[in-house]
Structure 1
Amino acid sequence: MTTHPATPDSQDALADDPHANDAAPYPGGDPYGDYRTHGVDFSATDLVDLADRRLGAGVIAANDEFFAQRENLLVRERAVFDPEHFGHKGKVMDGWETRRRRGAGPETPFPAPEEHDWALIRLGAPGVVKGVVVDTAHFRGNYPQRVSLQATAVEGNPGPEELLASDVKWEELLPPTPVLGHAANGFAFDVERRFTHLRLCQHPDGGIARLRVYGEVVPDPEWLGLLGTVDLASVLNGGVYEDASDRFYSSPTQIILPGTSRKMDDGWENRRRRVRDTNDWVRFRLAAQGVIRAVEIDTAYLKGNSAGWVALSARDGEDGEWYEILPRTRLQPDTPHRFRLATPATATHVRLDAFPDGGVARMRLHGELTEAGAAALADRFRRLAG
């Protein structure tokens, strides 16, 4: 893998050589052998992918998907490449690929400069977008010359027609910017606003394998208030993984994803611990101050490597003292566990300790927001609404 500088090639460089950002033709062997990382590297980020299908994200429309379907953009696994796989429309690619644009006639065979292809993405969890990765894996000579990205906030369940209406305001996060072919192209943003939808554009056409949208979830406090009892740790409700002793095999953020784990790597697993009298742990910040009444801990698909025992501690506020809310308790492999707390716990943070090591697939902290917690969420929601 090759890493390139943070700034994409300039417009002038592309004008001198329109193929400056191409990758070499597939040389055989490992398709990722010459894969590149360009711009901001998000490979080790702990930010949530707001466009994760597990959160409910979707690519709801595209103007063209002749060669490859738009839904591939949000597939969790990295793009695959089979050099021998062709279909009736040509090479089968694992991404979103549009046809080649043409001009108005023989005297103007190229498309007009403003013409482009687009796809609309519904974020699974509305929030502040901190950065994106536009992954052009395996698109070596058929990637877009430039990409752009706009964002908007439209509540409810708008369809493509509503989102593309003239009265919807789109904010530009990324102007048309060159990208590399067969590369992870990372871009960071500093726009403190809550968005619900994105529009990804290819200039003028081409293919993109995957899109990752990293950011911070901003839940709707009115909805949480209507629910009453909520999972205070859930990513969808604004819970955040802050720190952990070990994230060797997978991110601890997966512990607080919605739904159930689908396979072993869909939870948190650490290395085998070899130092006696130590243990692994994860610390979470809750959606806001709340009262925890019940806990679920699931070890689904962790059959020979689940945590042997777990304990939970909580604190109220950044400077609060940690106190135990669930004593060290035996876990069974590949099993959902439910615990009713002896005393409801008011907290803003929770720490999960695994003894001595091992994995946890999911954790739920059921309770309700305090009056102060609900007010803090409402204030943040108003500030980021724009």
Structure 2
Amino acid sequence: KGKIMDGWETRRRRGTGAAEPHPTDEDHDWALVRLGAPGVVRGLIVDTAHFRGNYPQSVSVEATSLPGSPSPEDLLAPDVKWTTLVPRTAVGGHAANGFAVDAEQRFTHLRINQHPDGGIARLRVHGEVAPDPAWLTALGTFDLVALENGGQVEDASDRFYSPATNTIAPGRSRKMDDGWETRRRRDKGNDWIRYRLVEQSEIRAVEIDTAYLKGNAAGWAEISVRDGEDGEPTPLLPRTRLQPDTNHRFVLPEPVRGTHVRIDIFPDGGISRLRLFGSLTEEGAARLAARHEALGG
């Protein structure tokens, strides 16, 4: 209707309640958002980029946690408890309005409200994935470092072209910059990424994918693992030649236990994905279940 907007713009409200201090659902616009993965929210960005004369006066954000795959009707039921993450707050136009969140709970859905109407270009939700341990235990073998399962990138040597977190994103890379590419090194060093697994696990197989990296794939890669924050690193995969635009698969001769993994690439270049397949140890499963319960899961 009219201009093509690369965001969410609502029509102008003309009701008498639009200017009320605390409007009802009928007096302001809102949207229900399912998080990409259940987790703990640490911060939010309500971006009104390019909305200069049509941004909302204020916004608020609420969150809830429901099991399964609830419908919009389930989420809007009167008995659903919503927790306020961002109280009603004035925002600016054409701006990335950031909010810190202090709620040590596991959430699955958000409700973003704009008062009374207007436009929001993007909603960014930053935090930590908090997987359901019952699901991971039922799966048995799964990707221990995947972002959607609670894996994390702790540090990386280079983030010039793209974030290292791309390497544990869902699915295969769809284009070159959907992976991790580093600058060209002119020294004798090499690039690396350090990961934290979902919990203590036994790793049984590895995938290193260089999809869409053809003239800039890493030449070689090696992987080490350590058990605990202060554990000594031990080899997981020796230095191995990589091919461009190829998914490399390695079955380990025996399971390797650990909580942290580091991949070194030589000398530079990139990989698109890293997958580490295995299962939780009894100790890791117990810790994950305890955290899940503490977060209200």
Assess same fold via TM > 0.5: yes
**More contact order relative to length (CA 8 Å, sep ≥ 6):** 2
- Three-state SS of the structure 2 residue aligned to 1:202 is strand
Aligned equivalents of 1:299, 1:206: Cα separation in 2? 43
8 Å CA contact 1:154–1:196 kept in 2: the answer is yes
Aligned equivalents of 1:308, 1:344: Cα separation in 2? 26
Partner of 1:252: 164
Aligned equivalents of 1:357, 1:312: Cα separation in 2? 15
Partner of 1:217: 129
Partner of 1:283: 194
Does residue 239 of structure 2 align to residue 328 of structure 1? Answer: yes
Aligned equivalents of 2:181, 2:92: Cα separation in 1? 33
Q: 1:173 aligns with which of 68, 85, 93?
A: 85
Does residue 176 of structure 2 align to residue 264 of structure 1? Answer: yes
Q: Displacement of 1:385 after TM fit?
A: 1.0
Amino acid in structure 2 at the alignment position of 1:185: N
After the TM superposition, which residues 1-386 of structure 1 pair with which residues of structure 2 at under 5 Å, given as runs? 89-104=1-16, 111-113=19-21, 114=23, 115-276=27-188, 278-385=189-296
8 Å CA contact 1:247–1:270 kept in 2: the answer is yes
8 Å CA contact 1:128–1:215 kept in 2: the answer is yes
Aligned equivalents of 1:134, 1:301: Cα separation in 2? 32
Aligned equivalents of 2:292, 2:162: Cα separation in 1? 30
Q: Displacement of 1:112 after TM fit?
A: 3.7
Q: Displacement of 1:111 after TM fit?
A: 4.7
Aligned equivalents of 1:344, 1:162: Cα separation in 2? 43
Q: Displacement of 1:237 after TM fit?
A: 1.0
- Three-state SS of the structure 2 residue aligned to 1:121 is strand
Aligned equivalents of 1:154, 1:200: Cα separation in 2? 17
Q: Which has the higher strand share?
A: 2
Aligned equivalents of 1:248, 1:154: Cα separation in 2? 39
8 Å CA contact 1:236–1:258 kept in 2: the answer is yes
Amino acid in structure 1 at the alignment position of 2:146: S
Aligned equivalents of 1:269, 1:188: Cα separation in 2? 30
Query: Stretches of 4+ moved more than 4 A in 1?
Result: none
- CA RMSD of the aligned region, Å? 1.1
8 Å CA contact 1:315–1:322 kept in 2: the answer is yes
- The aligned length equals 293
Deviation sequence 1:217-248 (CA, Å, 0-9, x none): 00000000000001110111110100111111
8 Å CA contact 1:293–1:367 kept in 2: the answer is yes
8 Å CA contact 1:102–1:111 kept in 2: the answer is no
8 Å CA contact 1:310–1:352 kept in 2: the answer is yes
Aligned equivalents of 1:103, 1:285: Cα separation in 2? 51
Aligned equivalents of 2:221, 2:47: Cα separation in 1? 38
**Ranges in structure 1 where 5+ consecutive residues have no aligned partner:** 1-88
Percent identical residues: 69
**Ranges in structure 2 where 5+ consecutive residues have no aligned partner:** none
TM-score (norm 1): 0.75
8 Å CA contact 1:103–1:112 kept in 2: the answer is no
Deviation sequence 1:109-134 (CA, Å, 0-9, x none): x5544121000000110000001111
Amino acid in structure 1 at the alignment position of 2:91: V
- Three-state SS of the structure 2 residue aligned to 1:90 is coil
Aligned equivalents of 2:180, 2:20: Cα separation in 1? 49
